[in-house]
Amino acid sequence: MKQKWPIFVGVILVTIGIILKYTINFNPWSLLILLTGVAFKIVYITSKIITKEYKPGFEIALLLIGLTFFMGGIVLHKNELIENPAVLKIIGISLKVLFVLIFIKKSRNQEK
Protein backbone atom coordinates (compact mmCIF):
# COMPACT_ATOMS: atom_id res chain seq x y z
CA MET A 1 0.00 0.00 0.00
CA LYS A 2 2.91 2.32 0.80
CA GLN A 3 4.14 2.31 -2.81
CA LYS A 4 0.67 2.69 -4.31
CA TRP A 5 -0.24 6.02 -2.71
CA PRO A 6 0.40 8.10 -5.89
CA ILE A 7 -2.17 6.13 -7.89
CA PHE A 8 -4.79 6.44 -5.15
CA VAL A 9 -4.15 10.16 -4.70
CA GLY A 10 -4.30 10.58 -8.48
CA VAL A 11 -7.64 8.79 -8.78
CA ILE A 12 -9.10 10.78 -5.88
CA LEU A 13 -7.91 14.11 -7.32
CA VAL A 14 -9.23 13.28 -10.80
CA THR A 15 -12.59 12.32 -9.29
CA ILE A 16 -12.76 15.49 -7.19
CA GLY A 17 -11.81 17.60 -10.22
CA ILE A 18 -14.56 16.06 -12.35
CA ILE A 19 -17.16 16.44 -9.59
CA LEU A 20 -16.23 20.09 -9.02
CA LYS A 21 -16.31 20.83 -12.74
CA TYR A 22 -19.75 19.38 -13.34
CA THR A 23 -21.49 20.27 -10.07
CA ILE A 24 -20.46 23.84 -9.28
CA ASN A 25 -18.58 24.80 -12.45
CA PHE A 26 -15.36 25.37 -10.50
CA ASN A 27 -13.42 25.70 -13.77
CA PRO A 28 -9.88 26.93 -13.05
CA TRP A 29 -9.47 25.01 -9.80
CA SER A 30 -11.20 21.87 -11.00
CA LEU A 31 -8.88 21.77 -14.01
CA LEU A 32 -5.84 22.25 -11.75
CA ILE A 33 -7.02 19.48 -9.41
CA LEU A 34 -7.75 17.19 -12.37
CA LEU A 35 -4.33 17.78 -13.96
CA THR A 36 -2.60 17.23 -10.61
CA GLY A 37 -4.37 13.88 -10.34
CA VAL A 38 -3.28 12.94 -13.85
CA ALA A 39 0.31 13.89 -12.94
CA PHE A 40 0.22 11.59 -9.90
CA LYS A 41 -1.01 8.72 -12.07
CA ILE A 42 1.73 9.37 -14.65
CA VAL A 43 4.37 9.39 -11.90
CA TYR A 44 3.08 6.06 -10.60
CA ILE A 45 3.07 4.36 -14.01
CA THR A 46 6.50 5.79 -14.88
CA SER A 47 7.96 4.60 -11.59
CA LYS A 48 6.58 1.10 -12.25
CA ILE A 49 8.25 1.11 -15.67
CA ILE A 50 11.58 2.37 -14.30
CA THR A 51 11.67 -0.22 -11.51
CA LYS A 52 10.75 -2.93 -14.04
CA GLU A 53 7.62 -3.85 -12.08
CA TYR A 54 5.60 -3.19 -15.21
CA LYS A 55 6.55 -3.89 -18.79
CA PRO A 56 4.39 -1.82 -21.15
CA GLY A 57 2.85 -3.44 -24.18
CA PHE A 58 -0.07 -2.91 -26.54
CA GLU A 59 -2.18 -1.49 -23.71
CA ILE A 60 -0.31 1.81 -23.99
CA ALA A 61 -1.93 2.16 -27.43
CA LEU A 62 -5.33 1.64 -25.76
CA LEU A 63 -4.54 4.45 -23.34
CA LEU A 64 -3.42 6.84 -26.08
CA ILE A 65 -6.39 6.03 -28.33
CA GLY A 66 -8.74 6.35 -25.34
CA LEU A 67 -7.31 9.75 -24.44
CA THR A 68 -7.64 10.84 -28.07
CA PHE A 69 -11.30 9.81 -28.23
CA PHE A 70 -12.05 11.43 -24.88
CA MET A 71 -10.33 14.72 -25.72
CA GLY A 72 -11.90 14.68 -29.18
CA GLY A 73 -15.32 14.33 -27.58
CA ILE A 74 -14.61 17.31 -25.33
CA VAL A 75 -13.40 19.50 -28.21
CA LEU A 76 -16.28 18.50 -30.48
CA HIS A 77 -18.77 19.12 -27.66
CA LYS A 78 -17.49 22.66 -27.14
CA ASN A 79 -17.50 23.42 -30.86
CA GLU A 80 -20.80 21.58 -31.50
CA LEU A 81 -19.35 19.89 -34.60
CA ILE A 82 -21.13 16.56 -34.19
CA GLU A 83 -24.54 15.73 -32.79
CA ASN A 84 -23.54 13.37 -29.98
CA PRO A 85 -19.92 13.77 -28.83
CA ALA A 86 -20.74 11.80 -25.66
CA VAL A 87 -20.24 8.62 -27.70
CA LEU A 88 -16.59 9.57 -28.24
CA LYS A 89 -16.16 10.30 -24.54
CA ILE A 90 -17.70 6.95 -23.57
CA ILE A 91 -15.46 5.06 -26.00
CA GLY A 92 -12.44 6.96 -24.66
CA ILE A 93 -13.29 6.20 -21.03
CA SER A 94 -13.93 2.55 -21.89
CA LEU A 95 -10.50 2.22 -23.52
CA LYS A 96 -8.86 3.91 -20.53
CA VAL A 97 -10.62 1.52 -18.14
CA LEU A 98 -9.45 -1.40 -20.27
CA PHE A 99 -5.88 -0.05 -20.00
CA VAL A 100 -6.19 0.14 -16.21
CA LEU A 101 -7.45 -3.44 -15.98
CA ILE A 102 -4.58 -4.75 -18.15
CA PHE A 103 -2.08 -2.61 -16.21
CA ILE A 104 -3.25 -4.06 -12.88
CA LYS A 105 -3.19 -7.61 -14.23
CA LYS A 106 0.34 -7.22 -15.65
CA SER A 107 1.63 -5.52 -12.50
CA ARG A 108 0.28 -8.30 -10.30
CA ASN A 109 1.69 -11.01 -12.56
CA GLN A 110 5.16 -9.46 -12.52
CA GLU A 111 5.11 -9.16 -8.70
CA LYS A 112 4.84 -12.95 -8.36
Q: Residue 75's domain spans which residues?
A: 55-112
Per-residue model confidence as pLDDT tens digits over 3-40: 778 888 988 998 888 888 778 876 788 888 888 988 99
Q: Indicate the pTM of the whole model.
A: 0.74
Number of independent structural domains in the chain = 2
HEC readout, 19-43: HHHHHCCCHHHHHHHHHHHHHHHHH
Q: Are 33 and 59 in a shared domain?
A: no
Query: What value, to the nearest 5°, has the Cα angle with vertex 29 and ends 28 and 35?
Result: 95
Per-residue model confidence as pLDDT tens digits over 89-112: 899 889 988 998 888 888 877 666
Considering 19, 37, 53, which residue would you say is the last residue of a domain? 53
Contacts of 85 (CB under 8 A, 6+ apart): 72, 73, 74, 76, 77
Q: Which helix H or strand E contains 54, and what residues bound it?
A: none
Q: Are 59 and 109 in a shared domain?
A: yes
